[in-house]
Amino acid sequence: MKTRISSNSQEETEQYGRLLGNRLPVNSVVALFGELGAGKTHFIKGLAQGAANLDLHSVNSPTFTYLNIYEGQKTIYHFDLYRLQNETQFLALGFEEYFHAGGICCIEWSERISSMLPTGTLEVHIFHSSPHQREIVVNISGEL
């Protein structure tokens, strides 16, 4: 199933993430795609709030550490792979173990590891449609 949503603000982007997060079971993998500044981190902030009841301000992109772990009602594994060189580096860091670690994996810049994303991964594509508007396309296989 493919869902297309328009967002006019970061608050709306967070709200859409929150709605998805409310429905995600543990061991979900959410792969985010979009250019710099598209709103991937804001989407994850909302998702973490919906899935784990986390404060929006406690969720930050782990650009220099690759991974932040947030403990809440559910554990959120937040990856930012912008600086990752390749899939081999991802494997060498042992990150694939988080796909089935009993939490929810949210992966920014997932195209860096696209061939190793597990079956059933939810894809979220965020595009600039104008300077202040984003299009969010969610590809969901199966039922949530």
Amino acid 15 reads Q
Put simply, whether the predicted model's pTM sits higher than 0.75 gets the answer: yes
What distances in angstroms separate CA 36 from CA 10, 41, 95, one per listed residue? Answer: 14, 10, 23
pLDDT tens-digit profile of 38-84? 999 999 999 999 999 999 999 998 888 999 999 999 999 999 999 99
- Give the percent of the chain with pLDDT over 90: 85
Burial class of residue 56 (count of CB atoms within 10 Å of its CB; 0-12, 13-18, 19+) = middle
2-139: what CATH class?
alpha beta
Number of CB atoms found within 10 A of residue 58's CB? 14
**What are the structural domain ranges in the chain?**
2-139
Nearest-angstrom CA–CA distance, 65 and 115: 22
pLDDT tens-digit profile of 117-133? 999 999 999 999 888 89
